[in-house]
Amino acid sequence: MPDLEVEAEALTAVLDGRWAGLKREVRAQIAEEKFRDPTELDTEAHRAQVLEQLQALARTDRPGLGYDPAYGGGGDVGGSLTSFEMLGFGDLSLMVKAGVQWGLFGGAVQLLGTERHHEKYLRRITGLDLLGCFAMTEHGHGSDVQHLRTTATFDHGEFVINTPDESAVKEYIGNAARDGELAVVFAQLITGGETRGVHAFLVPIRIDGRPAPGVTISDCGLKAGLNGVDNGRLSFDHVRVPREALLNRFADVAEDGTYSSPIESDNRRFFTMLGTLIRGRISVAGSAGNATKRALAVAVRYGERRRQFFKPGGDEVVLLDYLAHQRKLLPAIAKTYALHFAQEELVGKLHDLGTEPPEQEQRELESRAAGVKAITTWHATETIQMAREACGGAGYLSENLLPALKADTDVFTTFEGDNTVLLQLVAKGLLTSYKDQFADLSTFGTVRFVAEQIVETVIERTSARKVVERLASANDDDVLFNREWHLKLFEDREEHVLGGVARRLRKAVDGGDPFEAFNNAQDHVLRAGRVHVDRLVLEAFVAAIARCADPAAAALLERVCDLYALANIEADRAWFLEHGRLTSARSKAVVSAVNSLCAELRPHARVLVDGFAVPSQFLRAPLLDS
Amino acid sequence: MPDLEVEAEALTAVLDGRWAGLKREVRAQIAEEKFRDPTELDTEAHRAQVLEQLQALARTDRPGLGYDPAYGGGGDVGGSLTSFEMLGFGDLSLMVKAGVQWGLFGGAVQLLGTERHHEKYLRRITGLDLLGCFAMTEHGHGSDVQHLRTTATFDHGEFVINTPDESAVKEYIGNAARDGELAVVFAQLITGGETRGVHAFLVPIRIDGRPAPGVTISDCGLKAGLNGVDNGRLSFDHVRVPREALLNRFADVAEDGTYSSPIESDNRRFFTMLGTLIRGRISVAGSAGNATKRALAVAVRYGERRRQFFKPGGDEVVLLDYLAHQRKLLPAIAKTYALHFAQEELVGKLHDLGTEPPEQEQRELESRAAGVKAITTWHATETIQMAREACGGAGYLSENLLPALKADTDVFTTFEGDNTVLLQLVAKGLLTSYKDQFADLSTFGTVRFVAEQIVETVIERTSARKVVERLASANDDDVLFNREWHLKLFEDREEHVLGGVARRLRKAVDGGDPFEAFNNAQDHVLRAGRVHVDRLVLEAFVAAIARCADPAAAALLERVCDLYALANIEADRAWFLEHGRLTSARSKAVVSAVNSLCAELRPHARVLVDGFAVPSQFLRAPLLDS
C-alpha cells in the first residue's frame, strides 16, 4: 500500500487548480475581520453589514472580471465565476448579494444587452454606483419561465411594463427590498398586438431611496436563511420605459414597432437567452460546494477531539474512531472532492468556450451546469445536516456556525432552477443530443420525438457493458479498486438507464397522451439525469488526479476517488443487482470495501479537510476550542 | 378495488384512538390566538410569549396528569404523554419548555424522589409556582451519562455540589438561562470517600431572579431553532444542599453517610433510574410526528393548488399530479401514519405497565421508546426538508411555517438521546433479551456475552423465512399487496440481520479486542436496531387497522399501509436482493407497485392530511391563500 502522508498545502494546490492565484487573493481578502459572520445580528444590521462587505469587494477588480474589457471588464469569465464561488466560504448572504448584483443583474446587461447598455451601465454596476435586480421569477411562475405573465407592450415608441395580476408579481427578487435602483425585468414582449415571448427590459424601480412611480415594492420578510439579502416583491402599474430599455442582443423592436431577431424560432431564442445566464447556476453550485467544505471542516475537527464512551478497560473513544462516524463523514468528504473537480471542469469549459460558442457545445454545457448544480446543492443540504448531527447539541448552537450554513444553503436546491426540474433538463438534453439539431427543450416537447427516433441509437451503445461483463467473474480484489471497472460501471449504467427511458417513452406514447407518457416515466427520467452527472463527476475526478504532479497527493486522492466511486455504487447497488451488474457476493464486497476505505482514510480525514483551506475566521467556533 | 372515499373525521377518529377526548381538548385550547406561532419575534419576546403560553397550560389540569393523585396529580401517564405530544402541532418551543418543566423536571421529582419531595414540590411544579431544570447533560458528556463529572460529596450531613472543571459544566439546560429556580442536578455521589455513581439532587439555582450563591449561569445564546426556550449553562462552586436534596427513591445516604439502595448493582441502579425517564423521549417522538404532520399538511395543500408547466395543448399541471411530486409526499404520509400508530402503541404500553413494571417488560419498553424516537425524529427531519423543497421558494419564507418547523425539529435527532446511540441501544437490547436476566447495557459490555451465548438461539428462529420462501415463486400480483408477505419479510429480515450481527461479534471477539469487534460490526448493529423498529412499526399499523370500526377508513388505511410496507422494502431492496429474499424481477415489481400506489392514493392525499386535524391556526400561511 502506498504511503498516503501528504501536506494540506499539496491538496490545496490540486484543488485550487487553474485560478489558484485568484483563489489566494479572495481568501486573503475575506480573511479580514470585515468579512466576519453575522452571528446574532438582526435583519437590518445584517443587511447593512453585507452591503458594506459588498462595497469592499467593489474596491477590487474582481466584480468586473466577467465583463467586456472595452468597458473596464476583465474578460475572464472563469475568474469571475471563481471569485463568486470563493465567497461560499463566508457569509452566504454576501455571496448571493454579489451574485445578484454582478452575476445576474450585471451579467444580464452584459450578455443580453448591446453596446448602448454596456457603455451606459457596466462601469457603474461594477463599481457599485448602480445597484440592481434580476426580476425574473413571478409569484405564479418560477420554474416555467416561458409562461411569465408580466407584459411589456410597445406603445408610441416606448414599452409599457405591467403586472396584470397577483400571479405576475415578481417574487423573491434580491436587492429589491432595500438597495436596488434598476431592475432587469423579464416580461412578455407585445408589439403590434402580437406576443413575442419573454424578453428582458431595464426598468428603474427606486429613485432616491423611494419606489419609482408606478412601481410597488414590498419586503419578503424573514426567510429561513440569507437574511442579509433584501429579497422583495415588485409589481408594475403601466410603467413606461424607452425603447432602448429592451436588452436587444437577441431581438429588437424598431421605432415603428417592427420586431426583429437574428434567431427565427421563438423557442430557440428563448433558450438561447436563458442559456447565457447559466453563470448564476454555476456560481451557486460552486458556493454550495465551498459551504459544504466548511461544514465538513468543522465536523471533522470536532470528531477528532470529541470523545464519548470508554473502551472496556481503556480510554474514552474519539468520535471519529467509530465506524458509524467515519461512515457519516468520509464518503461525504470524498464526494465533496469529486464534485469540486466536476465544478472546476465546468468553469474551465465555460471559460474556454468564449462568447459565441457552437450551439451543440453550449447546450452540452448548460446540461452539465444544471446537473452539477442539482447534485452539488443536494449534497450540500445532506452533508451540512449530517455535519450538524455529527456535532450533537453543540452543532445546534448558532455560535458553532452549522445552523447558518444549513439555513443559508437550504434554498440552493430550489433556486437558480429547482433541482428536480434541472435533472429533467439534463435527461432531455441527453435524449435530444442524439439528434443533430436544436430541439425543443420544454417539458413535454421531446416525448414524441424521443419515442420515434432515438431508441435504437441509445440502446446500441453497449461497449461499456462488455467491459463490465468481462470483469464480472474477476477476483473481487482485482476489481473493487480497479478504476476501469468503476468508470465502465458508471458508463454502462448511464447507457442502460437512458436506453430504458427511451424505450419506456416510446412504448407509452404509442396511442397515449404525451403527458401521461412522460409522467409515468418521470422517476426513470430523473434517474437518467442523475446517473449521467455521476459519470461526469467520476471522470472529472479521474482527470484531476491525472493532472496532479505531486505523487503523494495523487496517491491519497486515488483512495478518495475509490471511496467516491464505491460509495456511489453501494448507494445504488439495488439497481446494479437488479440489472445483473453485481452479484450478491460482489455487492456485499462493495459494502465491506467502503468500510475498509473509511478505516484507511480516517487518519487522513483532517488533512483532507485542511486541504480545503477554509479561511480560519470561518472556522472560529467555540466547539473547536476545548 | 374497494371504494376509498372517506371523511377526514373518520381518519381523525382512528388516529386519535384511546385518548381522543384529551386530544380534542388540547386542540381546542391551542386553537386560541394566544398559542400563535412566534413569527418574526426576537428571542426575548419569543421567550416571554412561550412563558405566557405555559402559564395558560398551567391553568388546565393536564400538567399534573402524570403525577401521583395523592399530590393533585391525575395518575394518567398516557394522558400526560398525549398532552405533551399534541403541543407538537404548535410552536415547538412551548412543547419543549412544557416538557422540561413538567416532563423532565417534574417527572424526575415524581419518579426519582419520594414522599418528602412529592409533598413539597409536585403541586408547585404543576401550577408553575416553581419553575425548574433538568440538569443532566454536561459539556464533556452528553450521550455517556454514566461518566458525568459533576460531584455531590457528602460532608457533615450535607451534599456539596461541585463542577470540577469546564467539561463538567451543565450544558443546553432548558429553563436555566431565564426562568428556572430549582434544578434536578445529576452528579456522581461520593460518600465516605467512595463514588456511588450518578444520582439526582435538587439544587436551587436562582433566587429572586438572580443566580443562587455559588451557581454560575450563562445563556447558550441563539440556536438554530427553539429560541423560545431559555437554554443555559450551569456550574456549581461547592454549593451545599441538605441531605434531603437527594432524590432518594432508588438510593439514600443516612445521616452518618452510610449509602444504601434497594438495588445492589451500581449498573442496574443507574439504568433503572434512567429508565424511569423515558417519558421525555416518548414525548419528543410524538411531537416530532405531529410537526411532521403539519409540514405534510402544508405541502399537500400547496401541491394541490400550485400549477407549473403546461400539458401539450392542455392545462397547466397541478404539482401533485407529477409522479415525482407524489413520490416525495405520499410515501412520507404513509410512514407518518405508520409511526403514529407505533407511537400510540408505545404510549398505551407505558400507561398499562404502571409504576412498578416487571423488569423485562420495562427494558423492552425502553428499547421500543429509543427506537421509535430515533426513527420518528429522523423521519421528521427528512420529511420537513422534503416539504420545504416541495414548496419551492415559498417554502423558504418564514411566513410559510416550514422554516421554523425545520429549524425547531432539527435537534430532536440528537437530544433526549442521540439517534445513533439509541439505535445501538435497541440492537443491544435485542441481543441481551435472549438471556433471562438483566445485562449490562453499556456500549461494549455485551459484546463478549453475545459472542459466547447467543448465536445459536438467534439464528435458529427461522419460521418467517419459510413463509418468505413459500411466497417467493407466487405470482407478483398475489404477493405484492399481501400483508402476510410484508409482515414475514420484515420479520425474517430482522431475524437474519440480528443473527448476522451475533455471528460477526462472535467471530470478531475470538482472540480480538472487544472495541474492535464492536466497531467493525457497528453498521450491522445499527441496521439491526433499525429493521427491528421497522417491524414493530408495521405491526402497529396492522393492529390499528384491525381496531378500525369504519370500513371505508380501514380500506383506505390498508392501501396506506401497503405503501408504507412497499416503500420500506423498496428503499432496502438491495439487502433483500443480496440475501435472496427478492428476485430481480420482483424487486422491480416492488418499485412499480410503489408508483401505482402513489397514483392510486393521490386523490386521497388531501383527506389523509386533513385527517391529521392540525388546528387551522397552525396552517395559516400565505402560500395557501392564493
Domain CATH number, residue A58: 1.10.540.10
Look at residues B80, B106, B131 and tell me which one is the last residue of a structural domain: B131
Pairing of strands B194-204, B182-191: antiparallel
The answer to whether the CB of B362 falls within 8 A of the CB of B560 is no
User: Which residue in A25, A85, A416, A558 is the catalytic one?
Assistant: A416
Instruction: Assess whether B244 and B292 both reside in one domain.
Output: no
- Residue A244 exposure: Cα atoms within 13 Å on the Cβ side: 8
Q: What pLDDT score was predicted for residue B456?
A: 46
pLDDT at B626: 66
Look-up of cell digits 416538557 = B99
Residues 209-248 of A with CB under 8 A from B: 220-225
> Are A519 and B322 within 8 A, CB to CB?
yes
Range of the domain at A207: 134-266
Examine the domain organization and report whether A286 and A337 are in the same domain: yes
Amino acid at A176: A
**Chain A residues with CB inside 8 Å of B220's CB?**
397
Local structure of B152: helix, strand or coil = strand
Model pLDDT, residue B253: 98
- Answer yes or no: do B445 and B561 share one domain: yes
- A305 and A294, same domain (yes or no): yes
Q: Residue written as cell 459565441?
A: A356
Asked, for residue A272, whether it belongs to a domain, the answer is no
Inform me whether the pLDDT recorded for B73 exceeds 90. yes
Contact B96, B291 (CB under 8 A): no
Give the SS3 label for residue B160: strand
Q: What angle do CA B531, B533, B538 make, to 5 degrees?
A: 95
Answer yes or no: do A147 and B310 touch at CB < 8 A.
yes
Strands B210-211 and B206-207: antiparallel
Q: Which CATH number covers residue B460?
A: 1.20.140.10
pLDDT at residue A382 is higher than 60: yes
- A416 is known as an active-site residue: yes
Of A322, A381, A398, the CB nearest to B522: A322
- Check A584 against B580: CB less than 8 A apart: yes
Q: Which residues of B touch A171 (CB under 8 A)?
A: 393
Q: Of A199, A233, A266, which closes a domain?
A: A266
Q: How far apart are CA A274 and CA A260, in angstroms?
A: 18
- Rounded CA gap, B189 and B195, in Å? 6
Classify residue A31: in a domain, yes or no: yes
- Picking from B131, B157, B178, the residue at the C-terminal end of a domain is B131
User: Which chain B residue has its CA at the smallest distance from A443's CA?
Assistant: B309
Q: Which three cell numbers stand for residue B309?
A: 408547466
Average pLDDT over residues B171-182: 98
Work out whether the CA dihedral B132, B138, B141, B146 comes out positive or negative.
negative
- Give the chain A residue whose CA is nearest to the CA of B311: A515
Q: Grid coordinates representing A304? A: 477528532
Q: pLDDT-based confidence at A437, cuts 50/70/90? A: very low
Cell, residue A614: 477554509
Same-domain check for residues A123 and A224: no
Distance of CA A477 to the CA centre of its chain: 36
Q: Are residues A121 and A191 in the same domain?
A: no
* Number of domains comprising chain B: 3
Residue A98 banded pLDDT, cuts 50, 70, 90: very high
* DSSP per-residue letters across B382-394: HHHHHHHHHTGGG
Residue A618 lies in a domain: no
Which of the pair, A513 or A18, is modelled with greater confidence?
A18
Chain B residues whose CB is inside 8 A of the A442 CB are: 309
CA distances from B239 to A2, A396, B5, B163 (A): 57, 30, 65, 9
pLDDT average, residue stretch A36-48 = 94
Asked whether the beta carbons of B211 and B170 are under 8 A apart, the reply is no
pLDDT-derived band at A452 (thresholds 50, 70, 90) equals very low
Q: Do residues A114 and A250 share a domain?
A: no
* Whether B23 contacts B612, CB under 8 Å: no
Pairing of strands A194-204, A206-207: unpaired
Length of chain B: 626
Percent residues over pLDDT 70 in chain A: 94
Q: Which of B259, B230, B232, B233 is nearest to B246 (CA)?
A: B259
Mean pLDDT of all residues belonging to chain B: 93
Question: CATH number, domain at A147?
Answer: 2.40.110.10
Q: Is residue A366 part of a domain?
A: yes
Write a three-state SS string for A438-465: CCCCCCCCHHHHHHHHCHHHHHCCCHHH
A171 and chain B in contact, CB less than 8 A: yes
Tell me: pLDDT of A398 over 60: yes
Which chain B residues have a beta carbon less than 8 Å from that of A408? Answer: none
Of B451 and B363, the one with more pLDDT: B363
Residue A473: pLDDT band with limits 50, 70, 90: confident
- Helix segments in B510-572, DSSP class H: 514-520, 522-547, 551-571
Query: Residue B97: in which H helix or E strand, if any?
Result: helix B92-98
| Predicted confidence band of residue B2 (pLDDT cuts 50, 70, 90) | low
What residues have CB less than 8 Å from A346, skipping those under 6 apart?
A: A282, A285, A365, A368, A369, A372
The CA distance from B58 to the nearest CA of chain A, in Å, is 29
Residues 6 or more apart whose CB falls under 8 angstroms from that of A312 comprise: B444, B445, B514, B515
Instruction: Please indicate, yes or no, if residue B623 is contained in any of the structural domains.
Output: no
- A&B contacts, CB < 8 Å: 209
Distance CA B341, CA A387 (A): 31
Q: Are residues A126 and A181 in the same domain?
A: no
CA atoms within 13 A of residue B418's CA, in its CB half-sphere: 24
Beta strands in B156-222 (DSSP E): 158-162, 170-173, 182-191, 194-204, 206-207, 210-211, 215-219
Mutation target vs B (from A144, A220, A307, A308; most B CBs, 10 A cutoff): A308
What was the pLDDT predicted at B452?
45
- The span from the CA of B82 to the CA of B346, in Å, is 11
* Minimal Cβ distance to B414: which of A321, A392, A588: A392
> Across-strand partners of A204?
A182
Model confidence pLDDT, tens digit, residues B509-563? 666 788 888 899 999 999 999 999 999 999 999 999 999 999 999 999 999 999 9
**CB-CB contact of B609 with B21 (8 Å):** no
Question: Among B538, B537, B543, B464, which Cα is nearest to B498's?
Answer: B464
Q: How confident is the model at residue A443 (pLDDT cuts 50, 70, 90)?
A: very low
Both A533 and A581 in one domain: the answer is yes
- How near does any CA of chain A get to the CA of B399, in Å? 7
Q: Which of A397, A415, A626 sits opposite B221 (nearest CB)?
A: A397
Task: Characterize the bridge pairing of strands A132-135 and A182-191.
Answer: parallel
Q: Mark yes or no for CB contact A308/B143 under 8 Å.
A: yes
Residue B603 pLDDT exceeds 60: yes
Specify whether A437 is located in the same domain as A525. yes
Burial B550-563 (b: 16+ CB within 10 A, else e): bebbbbbbbbbbbb
Cα–Cα distance, A284 to B400 (Å, whole number): 24
SS (H, E, C) A298-337: HHHHHHHHCEEEECCCCCEEEHHHCHHHHHHHHHHHHHHH
Distances (CA, A) of B504 to A590, B492, B518: 17, 18, 9
Angle at A421 between CA A419 and CA A425, to 5 degrees: 110
Provide the 3-class DSSP secondary structure of residue A88. helix
Q: What is the mean pLDDT of residues A263-269?
A: 92
**pLDDT at residue number B471:** 82
CB atoms inside a 10 Å sphere around CB A352:
11
Closest CA to A35 of A617, A624, A620: A617
Q: Which amino acid appears at position A133 of this protein?
A: C
Which residue type, as a one-letter code, is found at position A358?
Answer: P
ipTM at complex level? 0.95
CA distance A577 to chain B (A): 7
Task: For residue A420, list chain B residues with Cβ-Cβ distance below 8 A.
Answer: 324
Q: Are A568 and A526 in contact (CB under 8 A)?
A: no
Q: Which of A40, A393, A626 sits opposite B222 (nearest CB)?
A: A40
Backbone phi, then psi, for B396, in 5-degree steps?
Answer: -90, -15
Q: Is A546 exposed, middle or buried (0-12, 13-18, 19+ CB in 10 A)?
A: exposed
Share of chain B above pLDDT 70, in %: 94
Whole-number pLDDT of residue A2: 61
Q: Are B326 and A519 in contact (CB under 8 A)?
A: no
Residue A191 falls inside a structural domain: yes
For residue A467, name the pLDDT band (cuts at 50, 70, 90).
confident
Q: How far apart are CA A286 and CA A82, in angstroms?
A: 8
Q: Where are the alpha helices (DSSP H) in B354-475?
A: 359-390, 402-409, 419-432, 446-453, 455-459, 463-472
- Specify the 3-state DSSP secondary structure of B159: strand
Query: Has residue B445 been placed in a domain?
Result: yes
Calculate mean pLDDT across residues B464-478: 81
* Same domain, residue pair A372 and A471: yes
The cell numbers describing B502, all together, are 451475533
Nearest to A173 by CA among A95, A229, A125: A229
Residue A486 counted as domain residue: yes
Is residue B94 within 8 A of residue B34, CB to CB? The reply is no
What pLDDT, on a 0 to 100 scale, did the predictor assign at position B515?
87
> Residue B137 is nearest to which of A144, A388, A393, comparing CB atoms?
A393
Residue B440 in this model has a pLDDT that exceeds 50: no
Read off the amino acid at residue B387: A
A229 and A317 in a single domain? The answer is no
